[in-house]
A and B are shown apart, each in its own frame.
Chain A
Amino acid sequence: MSTAPQIVPMKAVETPVHLRPQRSFQGLILALQSYWADHGCVILQPYDMEVGAGTFHPATTLRALGPNRWNAAYVQPSRRPKDGRYGKNPNRLQHYYQFQVILKPSPPQLQDLYLKSLFAIGIDPLLHDIRFVEDDWESPTLGAWGLGWECWCDGMEVSQFTYFQQVAGFECAPVAGELTYGLERLAMYVQGVENVYDLNFNGRDGDDTVTYGDVFRQAEEEYSRHNFEHADIVMLFEQFRMAEAACRKYLAAGWDGAGSARRHLMAQPAYDQCIKASHVFNLLDARGAISVTERQSHILRVRELAKACGEAWLKTDGGGGLR
């Protein structure tokens, strides 16, 4: 006579203290990831290229285009060369993390989902003043715009909330909802820390503590030097031209078929070059190497690439163009 295996009821595992968002930067990230995973998102990893914002990740820019459903969340290291302060400013960084959520089509209860995500990281709306303040988003380099808000918690902007209307010059159909959390800022708030470098990264105490400064201060110093003083202008201009040319080359090479069977076979590699051109432009801008008039023309050149990539993407499977 065999006995049925005894089923031990699982106890809900409480988050260990060192992983609580109030104590730990990585805990904050994990909490957001598991929240959005619970709500049907694929959790992606950062894109392996230098970008100015999470929006540039093809999981947002390209996936926002076309009819296919798409729900994803990921952390994206974001580079803003101009914002470097040699590790001396408590709030500004040339490299920081965004947590990006993209939901297409935008679900009807998106605001509620967002507010619950704040609750999940320890921001109780009955204790704090949470507000949606008009902020229409536009990215001239991506040829994209949307309407939405900056979300305020007690007067601090903690997220951007956007309903994409257009990306790469194309109407979004359906519209995607995009949420962008500024992770350092949010962490400073929930940890009650005044200086970003004082953030507890790993949530441990005493000698085991690793701070944000331990991880990133040296990098901020080094990259500030690089961005403002030493980045090789001649090389960067050359890189810009090369990326632009490569993007166009891959776009041209990727078109296949004709008429209704026309499709594109290399939209993503081409788009990588667009991302590259955009980042190189940001570096040149930080170096003060671009005059006012040139600035506009460079932005326009990147936008043209983005539009051409969007057009190509719409003729791929992912872009819904092969149905």
Chain B
Amino acid sequence: MPDLLLELFSEEIPARMQARAADDLRRLVTERLVEAGLVYEGAKAFATPRRLALVVHGVPVRQPDLREEKKGPRVGAPDGAIQGFLKAAGLASITEASVQKDPRKGDFYVALIEKPGQPANEVLRALLPLVVRTFPWPKSMRWGERSARPGALSWVRPLHGIVATFGPETEEPDIVEFTLDGIASGNTTRGHRFLAPAPFTVRRFEDYAAKLEKAKVVLDPERRRDMILADARNLAFAQGFELVEDAPLLEEVAGLVEWPVTLMGAFDAAFLKIPDAVVRATIRNNQKCFVLRDPATKRLAPRFILVANTEAADGGAAIVAGNERVIRARLADAAFFYETDLKTKLEDRLPNFAQIIFHEKLGTQAQRIERIERLSVELAPVVGADQVQAQRAARLCKADLTCEVVGEFPETQGLMGRHYARAQGEAEAVARAIEDHYKPQGPNDLVPTDPVSVAVALADKIDMLVSFWAIDGKPTGSKDPYALRRAALGIIRLALVNRIPLSLHAVAAWHWENVLGQQFPAVAEKIDNLMEFFEDRLAVQLRDQKARHDLVAAVLSARSLGEGHTLISIVDRVEALGKFLDSDDGRNLLAGVKRAANILRIEEKKDKAIYSSAPDPALYRQAEEEDLAAATEIARDAARAAVATEDFAAAIAAIAKLRPHVDAFFDKVTVNVDDGALRANRLALLNAIRDATRVVADFSLVGG
């Protein structure tokens, strides 16, 4: 079966957009092919800086013929209805329709519409221009003479040529002919801008890729990445260094070249007095070059790897020299920034923060730092940190934001603060906390464990959340511009990893009342809402840790963070509950409790009543009722007492004692008796079981 080859040849496509664009091209073309009844065998798309290319293998030569029966109006319907039907079905007269008998509703007309399938080439002629016109570039533009006209074509950068061929392997393929805003499709393309600029014709994908390769274009981005990586590693190894691998940079660099040529340059080792992170950021961000490491010292080596887009006549000597010049100038700038930064102590930068707005409703950065500082002092004893150190670290934790280096390379925030803190003789715990208070940033980021770091990291994030809840700025849907979900997850991970006995509710309420209070009076419902937000994040986190979702839901619904419980207690409870339910006692009790809950649910619905009052001992008729009543009371009180001290093993042991009494009750006692008072009392007994177990978890949410 025939193949489609499509190439959209343009001026340089931004590297960051290429992968997505190739994928979109494949998806859009193949989806429309399938919609048109052309089911293909395979498709692959590619991108270079100057082209998007797509091959679709095994496209049928033509669409299948369509036969469709269209039901019309009943025989004898008004003329308007008949005419409408003829028009819709494409019939000239009603005699072309057949009549279908229907003894019940009356006879009606049926038209048989036969639509012969079109040749695939025709379908493509209509389909490809549509895909180009509606292509979802993140940003696109108009250009040239035609840009003055309404409806002018827009593309990511000016589009210059379109290759579109279609045909089977054995024959000369046809051109899929169409014209887009003055650009006619054809079978001609070009190679590398400088090394092989002459146009050449192509037939199908196989010769297209091969001819491009001859014309110094590696079409497949994955291959370009592999070539660069292998060459970079080899160059590094040959000099006794190792490449500092950097996947996003590799991806970007592979998107900047059609013919990757990897070269090595050097810079003055004197620049290595600048922190490695700054050297790397300078070379990486500004020059898109890789850095190398000395395997012995693990520090950067005075070398870099650049990837050129050409095989230069002099073997790359001028290119290397040029890049070295630029990197020298850039590193000189960085060194200047670094040395300038060192001249100002971190605390002397703080007055500037009174001028910097953190958020229009939440005031300045200075106010935010003060809030973090007060909360850090409060949290220090809870996490076992030195209060003075926690306060100092909190006060300085944002100071590096006004440094030159951080201004130049925002990703070095925190890291530079740590450097400058060390340089001015701060305690190591303080310096480390300045860097680590931003952590953990994502689900895979390392969680700080040093107590001072933990205190400031928690304070930073809790202040964020409480502040934004105070101004009703919680995230909605996919909108989370201040990364509050990430902050909440960070708090959860900090608390769990370090097993901090921290009542989030108490801390949030304290912070709101004592620190934010003057600006925004604390509102109990908003704090409750914040706790619910945390519970949602916790459920997500525990699910990611492969905890049983139903157990998490059962525990969270039984006793929420809102009542002051700690994050670790919830996790411990989920674990204890899981173990209990694996035991014989657990399984049986679960069955009993679920049975009670089911009966209650059904009867409460039937009676439109809730049986939540305490059972009346005067109405007990059987010993099992009395037994159960006594046992539930004991179990509930014991469980409550144990939960209050966060002793979940004990709480569950107390609940476990209910099992024989529940079993005996269901064995001997009938709930739904005719005597209404008796029935109501027995339902109240069932409720007592439900209440007692809810102290630990809502068993009705447990699956299985």
**Does B384 touch A at the CB level, under 8 Å?**
no
Q: Is A292 a contact of B15 with CB atoms below 8 Å?
A: no
Q: Which of B21-29, B321-329, B473-481, B585-593 contacts its partner?
A: B321-329
Query: Complex: how many Å from CA A322 to CA B355?
Result: 49
Query: Quick one: which of B141, B310, B356 contacts A165, CB cutoff 8 A?
Result: B141
Would you give the shortest CB distance from A18 to chain B, in whole angstroms? 24
Query: Quick one: which of A106, A127, A163 contacts B312, CB cutoff 8 A?
Result: A127
Q: Mark A129-167, 1 if CB is under 8 A from B, else 0.
A: 111111010000000001111000111100000010100
Query: Complex: how many Å from CA A163 to CA B158?
Result: 9
Would you give the shortest CB distance from A11 to chain B, in whole angstroms? 30
**With A106-B143, A108-B144, A147-B139: A127-B327 Cβ-Cβ less than 8 Å:** no
Return chain A residues, CB-CB under 8 Å to B296: none
Would you give the shortest CB distance from A19 to chain B, in whole angstroms? 23
Return chain B residues, CB-CB under 8 Å to A108: 144, 158, 160
In the complex, the chain A residue whose C-beta lies closest to that of B287 is: A155
**Does B612 touch A at the CB level, under 8 Å?**
no
Query: Complex: how many Å from CA A123 to CA B139?
Result: 31
Query: Complex: how many Å from CA A284 to CA B308?
Result: 42
Given A127-B312, A133-B256; 11 other pairs, CB 8 A cutoff: A105-B144, A106-B158, A133-B12, A134-B12, A154-B318, A154-B322, A155-B288, A163-B143, A172-B147, A175-B143, A175-B147
A-B contact count (CB 8 A): 120
Would you give the shortest CB distance from B338 to chain A, in whole angstroms? 15
**What are some 7 contacts across the A-B interface (CB < 8 A)?**
A106-B158, A128-B318, A134-B12, A147-B157, A155-B287, A172-B147, A175-B142
Q: Is B143 a contact of A126 with CB atoms below 8 Å?
A: no
Query: Complex: how many Å from CA A91 to CA B157?
Result: 31
A residues in contact (CB < 8 Å) with B? 67, 89-91, 105-108, 111, 125-134, 136, 146-149, 153-156, 163, 165, 172-175, 177, 189, 194, 291-293
**Does B306 touch A at the CB level, under 8 Å?**
yes
Q: Is B357 a contact of A129 with CB atoms below 8 Å?
A: no
Q: Is B329 a contact of A128 with CB atoms below 8 Å?
A: no
**With A147-B157, A155-B323: A174-B357 Cβ-Cβ less than 8 Å:** no
Query: Complex: how many Å from CA A89 to CA B337?
Result: 12
Contact residues, B348-382 vs A (CB, 8 A): 355-357
Q: Is A91 a contact of B329 with CB atoms below 8 Å?
A: yes
**Does B289 touch A at the CB level, under 8 Å?**
yes
**Does B314 touch A at the CB level, under 8 Å?**
yes
In the complex, the chain B residue whose C-beta lies closest to that of A296 is: B357
Q: Is A134 a contact of B15 with CB atoms below 8 Å?
A: yes
Return chain B residues, CB-CB under 8 Å to A173: 147-148
Q: Mark B529-553, 1 if CB is under 8 A from A, else 0.
A: 0000000000000000000000000
**Does B145 touch A at the CB level, under 8 Å?**
yes
Would you give the shortest CB distance from B153 to chain A, in whole angstroms? 12
Q: Is A134 a contact of B318 with CB atoms below 8 Å?
A: no
**Does B169 touch A at the CB level, under 8 Å?**
no
Query: Complex: how many Å from CA A153 to CA B318?
Result: 10
Return chain B residues, CB-CB under 8 Å to A156: 322, 325-326
Would you give the shortest CB distance from A195 to chain B, in whole angstroms? 10
3 tightest CB-CB pairs across the interface, nearest first? A154-B322, A134-B14, A174-B148
